[in-house]
Amino acid sequence: MKLAGAKALVTGGSEGIGRGIAEALVGKGCDVVITGRHRETLEETAAAIGAGSIQGDVGVEADAVRTVADFVERHGRIDILVNNAGFGIFGPLVEMRLEDLEAVFRTNVYGAFLMAREAAKHFIRQGSGNLVNIASTSALKGGRGGTAYNSSKFALRGMTECWRDELRRHDVRVILVNPSEVQTAFFGKVGREQEGSEKKLRPQEIADAIVGVLEMDDRGFVPELSVFATNPF
């Protein structure tokens, strides 16, 4: 697709990978709107990168419905939805609380579903669209402490396969992106230390991969890709 002039909505776009994706799309000439729960951070980021903003929580159905409706009212259509909003809670199975599992799924799974559902209504009507779901390499392999986070990304991967099969007949491309470890604030928020490195991935690499697959001619698409650091050690 030609990105110049395309209308793109990026959830969780205030920081980290979401901000990197939004900034890259703005650089390609897209009209970009980012979403987030915290108004001040959202508006600061939007101003800094030249994007619009809509405050809301993707895991709240009314917010998701309103966000997509507001976006389409502003721009007349939606060409790209990047489902990036997500977070993690990690811990042993025997210590995992139901409310923690539900909170992770509320954003990572239900939020992605709600945003995809609302965008898909417009994609089908338009006969075109691009749905990009940001999962994780944690969606490919489970690990200790990953009951909530890994399982949510497995669920997102499964939903993506269903949506891909359903929407291809409407000329909608559904793409799953699995980043490996990326240097963002994610780890600090979950109480884990992340050692910085010139070799580890940055949001820029994930954004570059997404721009690359979106710019492919509309007759083809990449169903799924994983992005690893070449040599992070």
| 65-69 long-range contacts, CB within 8 A, separation 24+ | 65/114, 65/118, 67/9, 67/35, 67/115, 67/118, 68/9, 68/115, 68/118, 68/119, 68/122, 69/118
Greatest Cα pair distance, the chain, in angstroms, is: 50
Q: Beta partners for 36? A: 55
Q: In whole angstroms, what is the distance from residue 76 CA to residue 219 CA?
A: 24
Active site residue 110: no
Catalytic residue among 149, 154, 163, 186: 149
Rounded distance, CA 208 to CA 25, Å? 9
Catalytic residue list: 149
